[in-house]
Structure 1
Amino acid sequence: MSEGTGRPLTAAHDPDLGTAVERARGGDEAAFAEAYRIVHPGLLGYLRGIVGEDAEDVASEAWLEIARDLGRFRGDGAGFRGWTVTIARHRALDHLRRARSRPRPTGLEQDVLDLPAAGDAAGEALDALSTERALALIASLPRDQAEAVLLRVVVGLDGPTAARVLGKRPGAVRSAAHRGLKRLARQLKGKGR
């Protein structure tokens, strides 16, 4: 949250985002890249909280759908941010449903799946530690609180937009986010001793 305004830091990018989206709707690829650059980090953080290490795959699916349907979008930067999260959430829920119905890999298959990628580097691991720790703490919350915190803090959605994404009332989302943040603060205090 930005100091004094009570608005998420990402909201400061929404006028730029709105301009980029409008140009992207007209076919400007550089403008679409700018919209992606503004929205993707928060969207990916949200998806990591929902689907874990499959977040990149789910985000890719979501961005394909976003690019395909961009011509139908109407709204400003904040509206675009909410629209993209709604699409990503649907892809994440589809992914979780598919994962539940998929057979488990054998031991050998799992060993192959667990091999490190060629581009793995120690620096990437160090960069990801604080994000992973934060997402692990958020994942320890009850689901409604975790999603509310992810949408409000990580993605930067306002209360009404987060409520539309979740299909809940704004007051319920604000309350869940507040309870989740208080619980996180208690957890961090307990670990700091």
Structure 2
Amino acid sequence: MRSPPAVEAGRHAVADEQLMLAYAGGDAAAFDLLYARHEAAMLRFVRRLLGARLAAQADEVFQDCWLRIVAARASFSPQGASWRTWAFTIAHNLAMDRLRVSGREVTLDAHEGEDEADVPVLRAAAQATAQPSAEELAFWRAAGRRLLACLDELPSEQRAAFLLQHEEGLSVDALAQQLGLGFETAKSRLRYALQKLRPCMAQYLSVLEARA
């Protein structure tokens, strides 16, 4: 029997950490809700990390990530990082392992057919303009495709640091802790990523600056 609407609404308001604890306690429905909440974002994150050349392996890495989450349910502790950051770090580590095995540490191909709806520059546009014109939509879509290509040109470790910070809004210190890096190393990866992204996105950034 399906739960009453009020109960369903209450479940959707429960924090990820509490859902994970409930799942560890035997509540399978709690896991279903966690999966539904984060499936799309995590798959997108894995695809962007792996790039077009390893696109065929994205689903496998994605599934491995959830298997790791399931296996870790008994040892999960809701302290420190959020559940989402913890889970995305697992996805990051698995994707990076796959990249190392493939030997693709530096040169990466551009994405094709990537979901553009959650590209950072497009999300900013959506927040700035509730009802963008057709011309504005065309601009943001082109900017999104360009950003995905620029990200794919980054060394994988720099791209991973940038994407993790974007997905979670982590501070440099938190990013370093999650990746097991020194503060300066994490800071350098982000700095170098941004230094390469800015000229790569110069055409679109100049338009945004002119509008400001």
Q: Do they fold alike, i.e. is TM over 0.5? A: yes
Q: Secondary structure at the match of 2:154?
A: coil
Q: 1:36 to 1:156 in 2, by over 3 A?
A: farther
- Alignment equivalent of 1:168, drawn from 172, 181, 184: 181
Partner Cα separation in structure 1 for residue 101 and residue 158 of structure 2: 24
Q: Deviations over 1:16-74 (max 9, x none)?
A: 22222222222222221222233334433332232121322201111012112211111
Q: 1:92 to 1:142 in 2, by over 3 A?
A: closer
Q: 1:169 to 1:78 in 2, by over 3 A?
A: same
- 2:7 aligned residue: none
Return 90-99 or 146-155, whichever deviates more.
90-99
Partner Cα separation in structure 2 for residue 139 and residue 155 of structure 1: 19
- 1:45 aligned residue: 44
- 1:113 aligned residue: none
Q: Deviations over 1:74-116 (max 9, x none)?
A: 124834233323322332233334445xxxxxxxxxxxxxxxx
Q: Secondary structure at the match of 2:81?
A: helix
Q: 1:37 to 1:162 in 2, by over 3 A?
A: farther
**Root-mean-square deviation (Å):** 3.2
Q: Check conservation: 1:44, 1:55, Cα contact below 8 A.
A: yes
- 2:32 aligned residue: 33
Partner Cα separation in structure 1 for residue 76 and residue 92 of structure 2: 17
| TM-score, normalised relative to structure 1 | 0.63
Letter in 2 for 1:81: R
- Alignment equivalent of 2:61, drawn from 58, 74, 77: 58
The answer on 1:139 being equivalent to 2:161 is: no
Q: Check conservation: 1:47, 1:59, Cα contact below 8 A.
A: yes
Unpaired runs of at least 5, structure 2: 1-13, 104-112, 120-143, 208-212
Q: 1:29 to 1:66 in 2, by over 3 A?
A: same
- 2:73 aligned residue: 70
Q: Check conservation: 1:78, 1:157, Cα contact below 8 A.
A: no
Partner Cα separation in structure 2 for residue 158 and residue 45 of structure 1: 22
Partner Cα separation in structure 2 for residue 44 and residue 156 of structure 1: 18
More RCO (CA 8 Å, sep 6+): 1
Say which structure is richer in helix. Answer: 1
From the CA coordinates, give the structure whose radius of gyration is larger: 2
| TM-score, normalised relative to structure 2 | 0.58
